[in-house]
Amino acid sequence: MDLYQYETHLHTKEASACAQTSGVDHVRGYKGAGYTGIIVTDHFFNGNSCVPKNLPWAKRVDLLYRGYENAKEEGDRIGLSVFFGWESNYRGTEFLIYGLDNLWLKNHPEILSWSIEEQYQKVHASGGLVVHAHPFRACSYIPEVRLFPDQVDAVEAINFRNQSNEFNDKAIAYAEKYKLPIIAGTDAHGDENSHSGVAFGHKIKDIKDFIESIRTGGYELIRKESHT
């Protein structure tokens, strides 16, 4: 059976301060690597965003969306599906949010004041998916490992940029303990030598199809790790 490969965790230099690659160049790279699609998940305003904080809320959302829009235009041109998400940050703990759009963000300027519990409730109420990103990563910007099995729908247990495979192994054990779906992602910034992600037996129609496919377990992990 043919499998369709998708990147689940990707940053563009249009909106993420840590990224080296534009949305357009990411699309070309993933197309060349044989992927069917990507989800652009730039850092939100409470994370490593390069969007200025002194702008009106709607303008900030537009700038967050720019990397996705550029990628989507190029993806439509060359035949790569591009979907939108973002990576939120709560005191160093990060979450991938899927299934919502820029209009939803514009209608929720209070989002930066939400607790992790409120984030889960609000995103869920609108049909979105919350995934705990690299939950066991040890890094200077993460003061401590904090787990929220009741406030996430899945766990990013395979993250290509983790500095040790031990972090991935712990995340897999954590997800299995709480019976949470596992996803994989590159955490792409543009300097990777390979890619991770998930593979489906069907072509994903839209982000809602992606969410439903994760919830039902109809996929395989693309597990590529460059660290030990």
- 166-203 pLDDT, tens per residue? 899 999 999 999 999 999 999 999 988 889 999 999 99
Residue 73 lies in a domain: yes
In 117-193, DSSP assigns E strands to 129-132, 154-159, 182-185
16: which DSSP letter?
B
Give the separation between CA 129 and CA 88, rounded to whole angstroms: 12
Give the separation between CA 188 and CA 23, rounded to whole angstroms: 11
CATH of the domain at 10: 3.20.20.140
- Give the domain range for residue 13: 4-222
Residue 228 lies in a domain: no
- Identify the bridge partners of residue 159 per DSSP, sorted by sequence position: 185
Residue 227 lies in a domain: no
Q: Residue 227 has what pLDDT? A: 45
Residue 25 lies in a domain: yes
| Domain count within the chain | 1
Pairwise pLDDT comparison (225 vs 118), residue with the higher score: 118
Residue 79 lies in a domain: yes
Give the closest residue to 51 by CA, choosing from 66, 29, 68. 66
